[in-house]
Amino acid sequence: MPNIGSYDERIKDFDWSISEKELGYKDGDVINIGWYCSDRICQMGKADKLALLWENATGREKNYTFNDVRLASNTIGSFLRGLGINDGDRVCLFLDKIPELYLGFLGILKIGAVAQPLFSAFGDESLYVRLANAETTAIITQRKHVAKVRKIRDQMPYLKHIIVVDYDGRKPLREREIAFSLEEQTPVEDLEIFPTKAESTSVLHYTSGTTGQPKGVQHVHYSLISQYLTAKWVLDLRDDDIYWCTADPGWVTGTSYGIIAPWSLGITQCVQDAGFSAEAWYRFIQKRKVTVWYSAPTAIRSLMKAGEEIVKKFDLSCLRHLASVGEPLNAEAVIWSERVFGHAFLDTYWQTETGSIMLTNFPGMKIKPGSMGKAFPGVEATVLDPKTYEPLTEPGQVGLIGFKPGWPAMMRGYWNNEATYKGKFHNGWYLSGDRSSIDREGYFWFTGRDDDVINTGGHLVSPFEVESALLEHEAVAESAVVAKPDEVNMEVVKAFVALKPGFEANADLELKIMNFIRKKLSPLAMPQEIEYVNSLPKTRSGKIMRRVLHAKEWNEEVGDLSTLEDDE
């Protein structure tokens, strides 16, 4: 019997107080995610239970019990407090998937500071705009990433501390840089946990939009109420599970379901700090005896590409429950996983902004491959008419996905960007920016995004950010960036570029431009293809019409071109 029991029964009298009660929380109490994920689990008698099984690509391994997690997060929290970091200060985690990332996250929360995890492959420009927006006080990083921080630190007087967790003493540290080694510190047994309340800010995750700089999605400690229960009912986590969430905590899946949810449930989780390879993943599942696996469609499609023969080399009978998030999970992937692993990947839909799973397939429910499933109990979801923002009533009609605000993990704002936040609400609904239809039985079917944001392998890339970075290259006069179809990543970044006079459109320059973006922004934002053009399609007011280029890439109708400049 799955944890949720019967979905139909659960939705009848659902109340989030179910989760509050299980967590021992009452309205007005102190609620601190750092404490819930470590101290509370120890108090419940699981101090010696394994919390984290960690390994990297070179075969190094480290294990942590819940008591180790409690002590390590205390130690990091105490160190930060000793530096003068206060509640509400933003502390960035700019780390690979090493233990300090997971332990530091809880340490930051324990002192009431705000955790700002950023993907460690970000280049200096991507890092800078996010730190500048948040006016981040401290950054916790590794030797290998310090150079990127050094490049931008002089533009950030508010960045008071650059903490290096693996300093080896070889090259001198500079002003504001400080070494911190978890292993060399005396563990802090008692840390005064900051008495955060439900509405205290906990995490700041940056996400990309169509226009403007990335937005800092602001979450609060009360989000735990959603994250705990969704993990229990959707991921079906149980006491003896070994859980593997493949997401990097630089992104919301890696924090909500890669730190907070499993540890608040006292579940053992494993982490592999290594790149993707089908063989390495299967070996990891076999070795760690993974029972519950939360991953993403691009990874699943890559596994499909690697074929079924390789699966047979491993004993994956430990697997019990599989789920996916981040992009559309095609029906073939659902059917394939059922055949090959004996369990179908269940699709879940949510966003950085929603903080927790919103639409989902539940264990035990009838699965319709290709559908995102139904709304989580307590989540009121619909599709809206794009003009009137009234719910569409006919099954099968495509509209904008809307959620009634009020679930615990809903973002509380975009950092310093009230106008964009407000623009997300219409007629009492929060609009996710995606389109879907709902069938007769209440299943949601994703049809696409409602903006130009590119979802490449589950990571959102802003065409605006890439275009702006392209313009900084000496050869680029104009550019337009759109999604291009891709077998594995669904979409990849493609750039149309008009060159300045004197530059020759050739393959060598294409590579140089690609690399320029990879270093400045990230490997994800790097265009996989650059097409040289003489000019770009524009509206009469001079705005580049990405949709014309997009339609060409996807072999779609271009639609109304009446405002196109070239038509004049």
DSSP 3-state of 25? coil
State the DSSP H helix or E strand holding residue 94, giving kind and residue range, or none if neither.
strand 90-94
CB 102 within 8 A of CB 52: yes
Residue 47 CB, shortest distance to ligand PRX, in Å, is 32
Residue 122 lies near ligand PRX (rule: CB under 6 A): no
Among residues 432, 437, 462, 479, which is the contact residue for ligand PRX, using CB under 6 A?
432
List the one residue from 455, 479, 489, 522 that touches ligand PRX (CB under 6 A). 455
> DSSP labels for 399-455?
EEEEE-S--TTS--EETT-HHHHHTTEETTEEEEEEEEEE-TTS-EEEEEESSS-EE
271 contributes a contact to ligand PRX by CB under 6 A: no
Cα gap 96→87, rounded to integer Å: 25
For the segment 57-96, give every residue that binds ligand PRX (CB under 6 A).
Answer: none
Q: What is the closest distance, in whole angstroms, from the C-beta atom of residue 250 to ligand PRX in the complex?
A: 10
Per-residue contact string for residues 307-346; x = within reach of ligand PRX by CB under 6 A = ------------------xxxxx-----------------
- Indicate the residue among 35 and 350 with the shorter CB distance to ligand PRX: 350
Compute the distance between CA of residue 169 and CA of residue 182 in angstroms, rounded to an integer.
15
Specify the stretch interacting with ligand PRX by CB under 6 A; choose among 83-91, 190-198, 390-398, 430-438.
430-438
Rounded least distance, CB 31 to ligand PRX, Å: 23
The DSSP string of 231-274 is HHHTS---TT-EEEE-S-TTSHHHHIIIIIHHHHTT-EEEEEES
Which residue blocks in 83-120 are alpha helix, DSSP H?
99-110
Helix and strand numbers, DSSP H then E, in the chain: 19, 27
Q: Minimum CB separation from ligand PRX for residue 136, in Å?
A: 20
Compare residues 63 and 330 and give the one whose CB is closer to ligand PRX.
Answer: 330
CB of 436 to ligand PRX, least distance (A): 9
Strand, helix or coil for residue 217: strand
Stretch that binds ligand PRX, among 392-400, 404-412, 427-435, 545-553 (CB under 6 A): 427-435
Q: Is 480 in the site for ligand PRX (CB under 6 A)?
A: no
Are 340 and 372 in contact, with CB atoms under 8 Å apart? no
Asked whether 16 and 408 are in contact (CB, 8 A), the reply is: yes
Q: Which of residues 393-422 bind ligand PRX (CB under 6 A)?
A: none
Smallest gap from Cβ 459 to ligand PRX, in A, equals 7
d(C-alpha 351, C-alpha 494), whole Å: 24
Distance, in Å, from the CA atom of 123 to the CA atom of 148, rounded to the nearest integer, reads 7
- Strand, helix or coil at 491? strand
Nearest Cα residue to 87 out of 54, 110, 69: 110
**H helices present in 449-520, as ranges:** 463-471, 507-520
Which one of residues 446, 464, 496, 516 is an interface residue with ligand PRX (CB under 6 A)? 446
- Out of 68, 96, 236, 347, the only residue in the binding site for ligand PRX (CB under 6 A) is 347
Give me the least distance between CB of 230 and ligand PRX, in Å please. Answer: 11
- Choose between 295 and 351: whose C-beta lies nearer to ligand PRX: 351
- CB–CB of 384/437 below 8 Å? no
**Minimum gap (Å) between residue 372 Cβ and ligand PRX:** 5
Instruction: Give me the least distance between CB of 467 and ligand PRX, in Å please.
Output: 20
Residue number closest to ligand PRX, CB atom: 352
Q: How far is the CB of 396 from ligand PRX (least distance, A)?
A: 18
Q: Does 100 bind ligand PRX (CB under 6 A)?
A: no
Toward ligand PRX, which CB reaches closer, 46 or 205?
Answer: 205
* Contact call for residue 4 and ligand PRX (CB under 6 A): no
Q: Which of 73, 352, 479, 522 binds ligand PRX (CB under 6 A)?
A: 352
Checking DSSP bridges between strand 292-295 and strand 50-56, what pairing results, if any?
unpaired
Applying CB under 6 A, the site for ligand PRX has a residue count of: 23
Query: Does residue 243 contact residue 342 with C-beta atoms inside 8 Å?
Result: no
Written in H, E and C, the secondary structure of 396-411 is CCCEEEEECCCCCCCC
If the CB atoms of residues 269 and 479 are measured against ligand PRX, the closer one turns out to be 269
Instruction: List the one residue from 349, 415, 421, 516 that touches ligand PRX (CB under 6 A).
Output: 349
Q: How far is the CB of 233 from ligand PRX (least distance, A)?
A: 17
Does 491 contact ligand PRX by CB under 6 A?
Answer: no
Give residues in contact with ligand PRX (CB under 6 A). 207, 251-253, 325-329, 347-352, 372, 432-434, 446, 449, 455, 460
